[in-house]
């Protein structure tokens, strides 16, 4: 039976790290637990439950700054921000249903630690780009703080960027500060019907390169699109007169790609949430799921080489694949196609597979020797004894 420690305050987190150091045990850091199925199984002795380390520390809507504890549920934060017509602009995805869990169980700490942004990634950035400050405890048992609670403060930004996307392997975070932004007043999605993948990528690239200030672009092939017809989605956000004018301009600009329909605000938001959450693959629980980051023009060739069901986010640069079960979760096949088509200019992440496969098939893109050495040095500076989430990203690390 797994031993569980709990920490519901900064002091208790500090004490837990010191206890781990003195007892020589390794810790699996868990908040809501909704993201435990991403990455390798953690090779730890004790679970440190941080779900009690929750709540809003400071919210200054006028200054666009929010400080919270990492165990705060995302649903709670989204409701708080929505009441002031504000948002986390990186569109935090909810992959719970993709992993067979209920929706709405994630925490802000887990969101930052996996470092994943939604469909607005190309225009608004990832969590790390909105992460202003962090407090925590490192693997030496030292409490630290980096960054600040004001948007103009740049002190320690590099440290916050290291923590974001680290999968909890560098420290126990106890407090996080974010930049928040106004929520768009209105949303309009243009829908191009019937395009093949290559044409869809061209259309998305032209839209993103136009003056229309497109905030997101995605393509759903026929076997993924809700109505069974290929759909290329171009999203515009802002005040209503602006998006209508930009929509008319973009419709004329893209007319050579065929008829264009439009979705209003509510339908747009519902569909883009499905894109961001990869909800199209949530029901196919036997399939293994990969997410590739590649040059958009290369994505259709990779999809054709690998096979399976797929769709495109990020204007084609985010390629999602759902494949039937395989002994290696198709790792060799996916990475061979990646190497052949883009020759190292991209990476592949195994987003869903059984635990046994995630322990043997590296879920994250293997690091080049130089990057592996740099990663090792960073880990040594933060957590020399390997206390935090050992093995979560790479075996033995």
Neighbouring C-beta atoms of residue 344, cutoff 10 Å: 9
Beta partners for residue 29, in sequence order? 48
Same domain? For 352 and 385 the reply is: no
Write down the residue that tokens 């259309």 correspond to: 203
- pLDDT tens digits along 281-303: 998 889 999 999 999 999 999 99
- pLDDT tens digits along 336-364: 999 999 998 999 999 999 999 999 989 99
- Among the residues of the chain, which ranges form H helices? 10-23, 74-82, 108-114, 121-124, 157-163, 197-208, 240-253, 265-276, 299-306, 331-342, 355-360, 369-382
Distance CA 191, CA 340 (A): 32
CB 248 within 8 A of CB 193: no
Nearest Cα to Cα of residue 339 among 311, 371, 368, 372: 368
Nearest Cα to Cα of residue 326 among 365, 290, 366: 290
pLDDT band at 150 (very low <50, low <70, confident <90, very high): low
Same domain? For 382 and 292 the reply is: no
Average pLDDT, rounded, for the chain: 94
Same domain? For 266 and 345 the reply is: no
Distance CA 40, CA 203 (A): 37
- In angstroms, what CA-CA distances link 366 with 162, 194, 277, 303, 339? 18, 37, 25, 20, 12
Neighbouring C-beta atoms of residue 348, cutoff 10 Å: 26
Model pLDDT, residue 395: 85
Same domain? For 12 and 108 the reply is: yes
- Chosen domain end from 246, 277, 308: 277
Query: What is the average pLDDT across 297-318?
Result: 97
Same domain? For 136 and 239 the reply is: no
Distance CA 68, CA 108 (A): 8
- pLDDT tens digits along 104-138: 999 999 999 999 999 999 999 999 999 999 999 99
Token pair of 267 as six digits = 């339908």
- Chosen domain end from 277, 300, 320: 277
Nearest Cα to Cα of residue 42 among 372, 370, 355, 336: 355
CB 107 within 8 A of CB 70: yes
Same domain? For 115 and 169 the reply is: yes
Distance CA 189, CA 205 (A): 16
Three-class SS of residue 291? strand
Query: What is the average pLDDT across 295-319?
Result: 97
Model pLDDT, residue 88: 97
- Chosen domain end from 251, 277, 303: 277
Token pair of 98 as six digits = 């993709």
Based on its alpha-carbon atoms, the radius of gyration of the chain, rounded to whole angstroms, reads 21
Whether 370 shows a pLDDT value over 90: the answer reads: yes
Same domain? For 9 and 110 the reply is: yes
Residue 253 belongs to domain with CATH number: 3.30.70
Write down the residue that tokens 């007892």 correspond to: 23
The count of structural domains within the chain is 3
Query: What is the average pLDDT across 4-21?
Result: 97
Token pair of 210 as six digits = 């136009």
- pLDDT tens digits along 51-102: 999 999 999 999 999 999 999 999 999 999 999 999 999 999 999 999 999 9
Whether 170 shows a pLDDT value over 50: the answer reads: yes
Same domain? For 266 and 289 the reply is: no
Q: DSSP states of 33-65 as a string?
A: -TTTTSSSPP--SEEEE-TTS-SEEEEEGGGTE
Same domain? For 201 and 129 the reply is: no
Same domain? For 149 and 93 the reply is: yes
Same domain? For 129 and 57 the reply is: yes
Residue 330: domain span: 279-366
pTM > 0.75: yes
- Region of 396 (left: φ > 0; alpha: ψ -120 to 50; beta: rest) is left
Same domain? For 356 and 237 the reply is: no
């Amino acid at each position: 039976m797994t031993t569980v420690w709990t920490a519901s305050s900064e002091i208790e987190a500090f004490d837990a790290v010191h206890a781990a150091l003195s007892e020589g045990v390794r810790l699996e850091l868990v908040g809501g637990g909704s993201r435990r199925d991403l990455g390798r199984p953690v090779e730890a002795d004790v679970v440190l439950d941080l779900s009690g380390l929750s709540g809003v520390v400071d919210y200054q809507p006028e200054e666009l700054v929010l400080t919270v504890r990492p165990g705060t549920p995302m649903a709670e934060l989204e409701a708080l921000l929505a009441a002031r017509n504000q948002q986390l602009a990186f569109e935090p995805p909810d992959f719970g249903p993709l992993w067979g869990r209920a929706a709405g169980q994630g925490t802000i700490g887990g969101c930052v630690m996996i470092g994943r942004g939604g469909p607005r990634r190309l225009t608004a950035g990832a969590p790390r780009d909105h992460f202003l400050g962090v407090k925590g405890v490192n693997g030496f048992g030292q409490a630290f703080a980096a960054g600040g609670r004001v948007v103009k403060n740049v002190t320690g930004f590099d440290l916050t960027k290291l923590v974001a996307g680290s999968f909890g392997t560098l420290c126990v975070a106890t407090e996080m500060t974010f930049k928040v932004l106004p929520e768009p007043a209105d949303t309009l999605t243009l829908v191009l019907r019937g395009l093949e993948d290559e044409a869809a990528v061209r259309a998305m690239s032209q839209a993103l390169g136009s003056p229309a200030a497109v905030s997101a672009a995605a393509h759903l092939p026929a076997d993924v699109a809700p109505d069974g017809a290929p759909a290329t989605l171009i999203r515009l956000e802002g005040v209503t007169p602006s998006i209508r004018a930009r929509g008319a301009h973009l419709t004329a600009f893209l007319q050579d790609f065929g008829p264009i329909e439009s979705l209003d605000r509510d339908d747009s938001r519902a569909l883009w949430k499905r894109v961001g959450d990869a909800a199209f693959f949530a029901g196919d629980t036997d399939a293994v799921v990969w997410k590739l980051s590649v040059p958009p023009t290369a994505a259709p060739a990779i999809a054709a080489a690998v096979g399976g069901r797929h769709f495109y986010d990020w204007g084609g640069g985010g390629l999602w694949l759902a494949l039937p079960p395989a002994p290696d979760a198709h790792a060799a096949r996916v990475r061979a196609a990646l190497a052949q088509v883009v020759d190292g200019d991209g990476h592949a992440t195994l987003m869903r597979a059984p635990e046994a496969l995630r322990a043997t098939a590296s879920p994250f893109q293997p690091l080049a020797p130089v990057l592996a050495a740099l990663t090792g040095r960073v880990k040594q500076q933060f957590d020399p004894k390997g206390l935090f989430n050992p093995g979560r990203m790479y075996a033995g690390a």
